[in-house]
Amino acid sequence: MVGNNFLKICLSAFLFILFFSLTGNSQERTGPSKYWIEFTDKNDSPYSISNPEAFLSEKAINRRASHGIQITIADIPVNQNYIDSIKKFGVTVKSKSKWMNGITIECADNLILEQISSISFVKNASKVQKFKSELHEESPAIPAFETIAGSSKSVFDYGYSEKQITMVNGHYLHNQGYLGQGVDIAIIDAGFIRADTMASFDSVMLQNHLLGTWDFVLGQEGVYNYHNHGTSVFSIMAGNVPGQYLGSAPRANYLLLRSEDASTEYPVEEDYWISAAEFADSAGVQVINTSLGYDNFDDATLNHVYSNLDGKTYRISRAVNMAASRGILVVVSAGNSGDDSWHYITVPADADSALTVGAVTDAGTYASFSSTGPSADGDVKPNVVGQGKGTYFVATSGVVVFGNGTSFSAPLICGLTACLWQANPEVSCMEIIDAIERSATQYNNPDSLLGFGLPDFAQANFILKGIDYNDLDRESFVNVFPSPFTDELNLELYSLDSQQVYIELFNVTGEKVYNRLQPVTFTSYNIIKLTDLQNLSAGTYLLQITTSKKTYRRKILKS
């Protein structure tokens, strides 16, 4: 595994807990000879919420503390004695969940299962057969051959990815330097084949933006030998091919986790996903992206049913809500069932606290394959949409291609969500989701196809910063504060162009007492801080700002 020393320590501790310290309180069949066991309690655990350093990273603890989130009994690993007791029956532990207080075991003998079910700390046992999972397989990728037009909206050369980013005003965040720096994103997927050798990920690998990897299917390091689905998802956020492609969060940090076995179709993969999400939490990530979903079982009597898509019934959906309650923003693809008889979102897209993302075309219209809402309990789903038809990404060959699926719209929105959070680090994950929804095209009239619609990340940023500004096609000098000022002054200028702005101050006699050249970038909302005004005398001044288009004047007062 690639990563820093803490992550290695965290992973070692996590795996010790995963394979030797799990608890559970129901038993469900999750595949051939695989069962979910849920325990009644966490009694006699050697861990304590008063010493979270024993089971959570410093980042995880700080994330909770910064948003006033308490560490609870659900964060504590399970009692090792429970796990040891179960293992004495000769079963193999395959996954665990401290949030769900359970483990997945492999056992072929029903008599042994009956004996396990009778143990006092095992709550109950219920059998579940093999089912069909939806990996959100996309339409075949098609190479991008058309000529790339130069961008007039951004300081960055997006190449083929320009339209999918600018249609939700993601470039407004990028232009201001918010490219995901310092934000940790976990991608939970089916594999990341060749991602370790592709040149499009050099900026991640060579600049130490890869936090680590782990395969929860096999319980070992390395995710680079299985499936290209996660690689495609990863490229939409982190890909960088100069002149041809730039992802939605190219400078974020990434944790690559495999939970889906694409060669088989068993609900144990939901348990692997929960283990991966809990590990991501323990490692301290702020954002999780998952483009996996589950609906129909091979045994039709055990299918997920729409009436249970309430964000509270299915274990994986409850885990998404648990992650959000611990300060993690979870982005989930809506699913690709819009054209089939199911047509609804899949789990965990029904999770109350998930930012569920549907798909539109490059014209912003509904993509017919995109799964529909609402959730069974009436929540707006999908929450928002992004371009998922004709979405560009970098294939494992290193060639820029395009394909269709909500698996592509989700990471597009996820990366920009990370940039938005970078710009507003003091707010909570749910405040970020609320601002994204409020910025969207259908906020006042959501529907089952697009949810709240296409978000506007410039407007979402304004909402979070308390800025009342919505004319993105016109340059404007928006505000100057405080008034009166003492030693510092803040100017808010919205600029359409990359230019040098000339700032001047004149006293009441018309004498120029201050001047400064300030660079601003394309289509950006700039807060210009003047911090060197302490030598000015108290009194009234004329502030003059000259741009390439206009001269703005305001009367200000120094106390």
How far is CA 221 from each of CA 2, 218, 378, rounded to the nearest angstrom? 9, 9, 41
Confidence band for 301, pLDDT divided at 50, 70 and 90: low
User: 4 pLDDT exceeds 70?
Assistant: no
Q: What are phi and psi of 112, to 5 degrees?
A: -65, -40
pLDDT of residue 11: 44
User: 265 pLDDT exceeds 80?
Assistant: no
Confidence band for 280, pLDDT divided at 50, 70 and 90: very high
What is the fold, at CATH topology level, of the domain defined by 476-558? Immunoglobulin-like (2.60.40)
Task: Choose the weakest-confidence range: 23-27, 66-70, 119-123.
Answer: 23-27
Confidence band for 494, pLDDT divided at 50, 70 and 90: confident
| 3-class DSSP string for 428-466 | CHHHHHHHHHHHCCCCCCCECCCECCCCCHHHHHHHHHC
Confidence band for 124, pLDDT divided at 50, 70 and 90: confident
Nearest to 292 by CA among 344, 245, 348: 348
What distance in Å separates the CA atoms of residue 235 and residue 232, rounded to the nearest whole number? 5
Confidence band for 267, pLDDT divided at 50, 70 and 90: confident
The percentage of the chain sitting over the pLDDT mark of 90, rounded to a whole number, equals 73
Q: What are phi and psi of 7, to 5 degrees?
A: -60, -35
Summarize pLDDT for 334-368 with one digit per residue, the tens: 999 999 999 999 999 999 999 999 999 999 999 99
User: 292 pLDDT exceeds 90?
Assistant: yes
Cβ neighbour number for residue 222 with a 10 Å cutoff: 17
Task: Choose the weakest-confidence range: 221-235, 273-287, 455-469.
Answer: 455-469
pLDDT of residue 417: 98
pLDDT of residue 29: 53
- Mean pLDDT, all residues of the chain: 88
pLDDT of residue 215: 97
Confidence band for 483, pLDDT divided at 50, 70 and 90: confident
Confidence band for 8, pLDDT divided at 50, 70 and 90: very low
CA–centroid distance for 396 within its chain:
22
Cβ neighbour number for residue 541 with a 10 Å cutoff: 22
- Give the pairing type, strands 253-258 and 184-189: parallel
pLDDT of residue 141: 56
- Give the pairing type, strands 355-360 and 329-333: parallel
Mapped onto helix, strand or coil, the DSSP state of residue 184 is strand
Domain positions in the chain are 5-128, 159-465, 476-558
User: 227 pLDDT exceeds 80?
Assistant: yes
Q: For the domain covering 159-465, report its CATH number.
A: 3.40.50.200
User: 470 pLDDT exceeds 80?
Assistant: no
CA–centroid distance for 552 within its chain:
40
User: 377 pLDDT exceeds 90?
Assistant: yes
Confidence band for 135, pLDDT divided at 50, 70 and 90: low
Summarize pLDDT for 506-518 with one digit per residue, the tens: 999 999 999 999 9
What distance in Å separates the CA atoms of residue 289 and residue 183, rounded to the nearest whole number? 13
Summarize pLDDT for 429-448 with one digit per residue, the tens: 999 999 999 999 999 999 99
Average of pLDDT values for 104-117? 88
Task: Choose the weakest-confidence range: 209-213, 271-275, 476-480, 482-486.
Answer: 476-480
- Give the pairing type, strands 92-97 and 102-106: antiparallel
What distance in Å separates the CA atoms of residue 303 and residue 306, rounded to the nearest whole number? 9
Contact by Cβ (8 Å): 393, 129: no
CA angle 330/401/370 to nearest 5° reads: 45
pLDDT of residue 13: 42
What distance in Å separates the CA atoms of residue 461 and residue 526, rounded to the nearest whole number? 12
Average of pLDDT values for 259-285? 88
Question: Across the strands, what pairs with 551?
Answer: 546
Contact residues for 533 (Cβ-Cβ < 8 A; gap 6+): 485, 487, 488, 489, 505, 514, 558
74 is written with which tokens?
Answer: 């659900």
